[in-house]
Every structure is written in C-alpha cells, then in structure tokens.
A and B are shown apart, each in its own frame.
Chain A
Amino acid sequence: QQQVKQSPQSLIVQKGGISIINCAYENTAFDYFPWYQQFPGKGPALLIAIRPDVSEKKEGRFTISFNKSAKQFSLHIMDSQPGDSATYFCAASMLYNFNKFYFGSGTKLNVKP
C-alpha cells in the first residue's frame, strides 16, 4: 500500500513558469512533510519541509502548500529555471515514532530554456 501518492510523474515547464507537484497521504499520524530534489548520480537533497500546524511555507522560489483536511500538500517552484530540472520527491513521516520516512514515486521536472 502506497502511503504517499505523488503526481504528475513528469512535468515540462517553460523557463520562468510555475512548476506544481502534488502529493496526497492517508495516514493522519504523519506530522512532517519534506520535499527532496535529486539530480542524476546524486543522492536526494532536502529542499524544504513543513509541519501540519502551518498551511504554507516559503523559501526563496520554493513554496509548500499544505491542506490538512484534504490530506494533500504541494510544491510550487516559481520562476522555474533550467537548473531546477531534476527529480522531486515528497515524503512523510511520524517523527516521534522512530522516524520512518515514506516517499512519493517522484516527479521528473524538465524546465525548457
């Protein structure tokens, strides 16, 4: 059973556009939702994360929107750049229950110049 569902699988965006990646979860016990960025040949790098007590978190061009009632969260990349082309993973965990992370299936983003 997939704990975190991520969409779309792939995304093509023009330079300067907005990239939006969505994730949904079922387990209401999750209380930490990070996003990771992975370039080919590299490990995933923590990008931004949110806890369920806030509805939005912004860091530079990256914003997480969180909807607790819908059990959904999304990553918005504003002013997308070719250097943002990578695979993005959402994840969820229960931090006070031995820290087991569940990952989405990933979204391959291609930002065209």
Chain B
Amino acid sequence: KAGVTQTPRYLIKTRGQQVTLSCSPISGHRSVSWYQQTPGQGLQFLFEYFSETQRNKGNFPGRFSGRQFSNSRSEMNVSTLELGDSALYLCASRQGFEQYFGPGTRLTVT
C-alpha cells in the first residue's frame, strides 16, 4: 500500500496570507490527524478527523482549521499567517492502534 502523502512538500508564504495543505491517507484509513512540529515546541496535536467529522482538537487558535472529504483525504487551512506558524506540518492516518505519518509540509512564513 502507498503511504501517507502530503502536498505540497515545501511552501513559502508571507505574513497575513492564508495557506491550504493537503493530505491523502493510506488506503482504507478513515482517521486523519494533523500535527505541527517545531524545534521549540516539538510535536503538537492540531486536530483529528474521522468520517468527515472533527473528533478532537488541540490547543491552537481558530486560524487553524481543517476538513475531511468522503474519500478520507484531508485539508488543513491556516489563515492570517504569522511568523510563528513556520513549522513542519505532519499528517497521520490511523487504522486500529497504529498511526502512520506522512513526510510533512515544510511551511516558511516570511
């Protein structure tokens, strides 16, 4: 099976802009989670979707939002970008106990 794929892999945006990141889970996986990874804060949970419904949300401002489509693909949106949003954004899909991560999207905000 193909692994979790994320697009784009790299992105440079300007402060104040918005960005949309995409994630395709492993075939058959219905749960998709998003994480932000930074050197200072480590891996932080953003939110989790299952069957198009957000089931859980981390402690991030409302500028961070997401959605999941009927084919389990997911998108994450960040509006009004801030310099501190520069990070590696990781998507993970899960079936059963095991969670598998994609390669991430490296977002740089200038």
Contacts and interface: CB of A to CB of B under 8 A. Distances in A.
A95 B97 contact: yes
Contacts, number: 55
- Secondary structure of the A contact surface, majority rule: loop
B31 A99 contact: yes
Interface of B: 4, 31, 33, 35, 42-45, 48, 55-56, 58, 90, 92, 94, 97-104
Interface residues of A, number: 22
Contacts of B94: 99
Given A34-B99, A44-B101, A98 B90 contact: no
Contacts of A100: 45, 48, 56, 58
25 contacts: A36-B101, A41-B103, A43-B4, A43-B90, A43-B101, A43-B103, A43-B104, A44-B43, A44-B90, A44-B101, A45-B101, A46-B98, A46-B100, A51-B97, A99-B48, A99-B55, A99-B56, A99-B94, A99-B99, A100-B45, A100-B48, A101-B99, A102-B45, A103-B42, A103-B43
Given A46-B98, A98-B55, A100-B48, A106 B103 contact: no
Interface of A: 32, 34, 36, 41-46, 49, 51, 89, 95, 98-106
